[in-house]
Amino acid sequence: NITDKSKLKLKMLKGFVGDITGGADVCKCIPRNQFVTESSIKFVLPDETAFIFLKSAKEEFIFTDKALIAIRGNSGASKKRYVTRFDYGEHPIKNVAFETAGFGLTDLDCEIKLEIGNESLSIDIEKNETDIAITYYRALVDVSKAIKRNNAKFNLSLNLIKNDTKIDLKESPENSLRAISTNVIDFTEALLIKFQPESYKDVFSAHFPGA
């Protein structure tokens, strides 16, 4: 039997080879029924659902219904990893693109490109998993469109509130001001719930039946 120590050495050797050949950052698409076997799944919060799991020797990307969790290292051989969380509400996904693999011996990966918040990502994926990667691309496009649409509706509603609550302070008694302020706060909170959802599970689920 292969011991855990031997497995770790083998993993580090594969990472070292990947660093040399340039394949350390080329991801595999982890099947959803295997998510629970991956150690990095522990970074997913109890109240969220993982839909996309991309893993290479150097980095991992987990897209949940609420956030992108990026686990990155300096090299494939290193055990040290840095975990970053990008909640969609604070770091919206935008400008999702897909680049197909070429036909040469050196161009062996396709890419999903996107911006999340202020960070640009280019995720390399093994060429033989192009069909799965395209499904991921389509899901992320729909999530980005839903976020953009919700932000537009939220901003439009806020502008309507501003226009409807212009008050002459000299003519408005204190109680009226307090009531108006309370109504504006309540309405804004309702808008946040409606147009700034924490979860986009319904959008992801449309691309991953049975999730």
Give the tens place of pLDDT for each residue, 133-149.
999 999 999 999 999 98
Determine the pLDDT at residue 101.
85
Q: Are 127 and 115 in contact, with CB atoms under 8 Å apart?
A: no
- Closest Cα partner for 101 from 92, 93, 111, 116? 111
Question: What average pLDDT does the structure give for the chain?
Answer: 81
- Closest Cα partner for 171 from 161, 184, 180, 159? 180
Whole-number percent of the chain with pLDDT over 90: 54
Type of residue found at 136: Y
170/92 Cα distance (integer angstroms)? 41
DSSP secondary structure of 163-211: HHT---TTTS-HHHHHHHHHHHHHHHHHHHHHHS-S--HHHHHTTSTT-
143/68 Cα distance (integer angstroms)? 12
Confidence of residue 130 (pLDDT cuts 50, 70, 90): very high
174/63 Cα distance (integer angstroms)? 48
pTM of the model: 0.77
Confidence of residue 21 (pLDDT cuts 50, 70, 90): very low
Q: Among 23-32, 92-101, 163-172, which is the least confidently predicted range?
A: 163-172
62/28 Cα distance (integer angstroms)? 12
Write out the two tokens for 38. 């991956």
**β-pairing verdict for 119-126 and 26-29:** parallel
DSSP secondary structure letter of residue 34: G
2/150 Cα distance (integer angstroms)? 51
- Closest Cα partner for 40 from 27, 186, 171? 27
